[in-house]
Amino acid sequence: MLHAGGSLTREMAGGKAWGIQRMLSLGIPVPPAFVLTTDVCHDYHETGRVLPGSVADDVRTAMLHLEERTGRTFGSTERPLLVSVRSGAAVSMPGMMDTILNLGMTPDVEAALAAETANPAYAADTRRRFVDQFENIVGTPPPDEPWAQLDLAIRAVLDSWHSKRATAYRHSRGIPDDGGTAVIVQAMVFGNLDDRSGTGVLFTRDPLHGDPEPYGEWLPRGQGEEIVSGRTDALHLGDLAVQLPSVHADLLAAARVLERTAGDVQDIEFTVQAGELWLLQTRAAKRTPRAALRCAIQLHHESIIGVAEVLDRVTVEQLRAVLRPHLDPAAVSESSPVAAGKPACPGIAAGVVVTDADEAERLADAGRPVVLARPTTDPDDVAGMAAAVAVLTELGGSTSHAAVVCREMAVPCIVGCGTDTVTALAGMVVTVDADSGTVYPGELAVRAPVASDDEDLVTLRRWLRDAMGDNETAVDVVDLMKRYQARRVAR
């Protein structure tokens, strides 16, 4: 069982379970959960994919605890308990089984939930999601026996450690094969239960600009995975404050505690079930280079981290990105994007869209800036890519041919914009912001930042100079940071 004050390490329990243990230790409401540690994964694979005998008993005992804590019973037709099953390697990797929600669901359980909630649509919806997800991930339809479902799901997690994709990923990154994955089983809470239920994400600070206000989305009557996949009908966090003020206040209080104890901006997933708040996950938030700089400085101003910590966190690349020319925010806010995808090579450029590499070369030779837009790039597009000021593709990710070639030539590039998106812009003049992955119509104004006008950079530069002593002659903030880091490594 995961409990407050638990001593499981990240290696044994994986990142997710370790985060749950941390929240419990801080007195934050988390649905009860237990974890099969990475040792179980070792034994399972060492004995030719056989679960150690004691594990079945341990799972039964732990499930009893979940039942006691929730007052619900697994597989029962009266107040049935449903659980989620997740993988939990110390580092997350593609190819690992991710999550099965609502496990324990059967036709009888659906009927019981429908009666309990007087909401048959909700119960049917929950079962439909479960069957889809189970089939998708385990590869067979779920059996009607909940314990058999649990057994299959646990094995699917353990097996996924040796999936082709996960193995290839580990080899490519030099991650050893013997780490193993943990399995986390957690009682479900339901954001789709009633009008006082929902799900959301909260960033403790704005991950785009770094402003010190919480930032997030709230999806009434939504369940876990929906908000993560970017539903368009999600509301702002402020709407939660109006709808359920005490939940909103509790959430912000928990977020502050988590940020302060972790010493970093947190990305928190939460669910509200019938007016009761539950936190599902917390982790360090991904953020833009600007937000990384501003948050580090703000965290110091709020006495959460020291100056040395700030200087260690901000990277040379983040400083370079902050100093790169960027689009005038006023122009951006007045414009609506005509396409968007994954940034593959940073930079900003404007030009006329052409869809043919030969034409790109011809127009570029004639002195016109061109943006080459292709469904995907072929080898014979390379000459056209070299002539273009920016490249857009409809298919492919950050390891695609277009991405590799553009990075090599330092041509701004956005990939994976979607079928029939960018090629449909042929003939139009556009501005490509490959820092954010957005394409705007027309030619937008570009601003070149000046380090001495930027309050965050001025502060950072002062701290770097203080840390380096009087002998330091470098004046540029990027140079200062490089030298500071070189000195840290040398020590």
Query: Which residues bind to another protein, rule: CB under 8 A?
Result: 164, 168-169, 171-174, 289, 315, 317, 321, 357, 361, 375-376, 378-386, 395-405, 407-409, 415, 419
Instruction: Tell me the closest approach of the beta carbon of residue 478 to another protein, in angstroms.
Output: 12
Shortest distance, CB of residue 178 to another protein, whole angstroms? 19
Q: Give the closest residue to 112 by CA, choosing from 134, 141, 142, 82.
A: 82
Cα–Cα distance, 108 to 117 (Å, whole number): 14
Cβ pair 438, 418 in contact under 8 A: no
Judged by CB, which is closer to another protein: 287, or 461? 287
Assess contact for 134 and 149: CB atoms under 8 A. Answer: yes
Query: Are 198 and 220 within 8 A, CB to CB?
Result: yes
- Return the number of the residue (173 or 491) whose C-beta is nearest another protein: 173
Structure tokens at 213: 């206000």
* CA–CA dist 411, 391 (Å, integer): 7
* H/E run at residue 34: strand 33-36
Least distance from another protein to the Cβ atom of residue 379, Å: 4
Whether 19 contacts 1, CB under 8 Å = no
For the CB of residue 480, give the shortest distance to another protein in the complex, in Å.
17
136 φ/ψ angles, rounded to the nearest 5 degrees: -60, -45
Q: Is 262 helix (H, G, I), strand (E, B) or coil?
A: helix
Q: Residue 433's closest CA among 446, 420, 451, 422?
A: 446
Compute the least distance from the CB of residue 367 to another protein, in Å. Answer: 16
CB nearer another protein, residue 38 or residue 423: 423
Smallest gap from residue 319 Cβ to another protein (A)? 12
Sequential DSSP letters for 317-385: HHHHHHHS-EE-HHHHHH---SEE-EEEE--EEEEEEES-HHHHHHHHHTT--EEEEESS--GGGHHHH
Helix (H, G, I), strand (E, B) or coil at 420: coil
Q: How far is the CB of 13 from another protein (least distance, A)?
A: 24
Cα gap 329→209, rounded to integer Å: 12
Pair of tokens at residue 111:
């009927």
- Which of residues 221 and 401 has its CB atom nearest to another protein in the complex? 401
Q: Nearer Cβ to another protein, position 256 or 286?
A: 286
**Nearest approach, Cβ of 383 to another protein (angstroms)?**
4
Nearer to another protein by Cβ, of 79 and 286: the residue is: 286
Task: Report the residue number, 119 or 376, with the smaller CB distance to another protein.
Answer: 376
Element housing 203 (H / E):
strand 198-203
Give 474: exposed, middle or buried? Use CB within 10 Å, 0-12, 13-18, 19+. Answer: middle
Residue 401 beta carbon to another protein: minimum distance, rounded to whole angstroms? 6
Helix (H, G, I), strand (E, B) or coil at 14: helix
In angstroms, give the least distance from the CB of 169 to another protein: 8
Q: Are 190 and 114 in contact (CB under 8 A)?
A: no
* Cβ-count burial 356-374 (b if 16+ within 10 Å, e if not): bbeebbebbeeeebbbbbb
Strands 198-203 and 266-273, by their bridges, are: antiparallel
CB nearer to another protein: give 65 or 362.
362
Q: Which is nearer to another protein, 115 or 168 (CB)?
A: 168
Beta carbon nearer to another protein, 105 or 405: 405
DSSP 286: P
Handedness of CA 275, 277, 278, 279 (dihedral sign): positive
CB of 283 to another protein, least distance (A): 16
Nearer to another protein, 186 or 288 (CB): 288
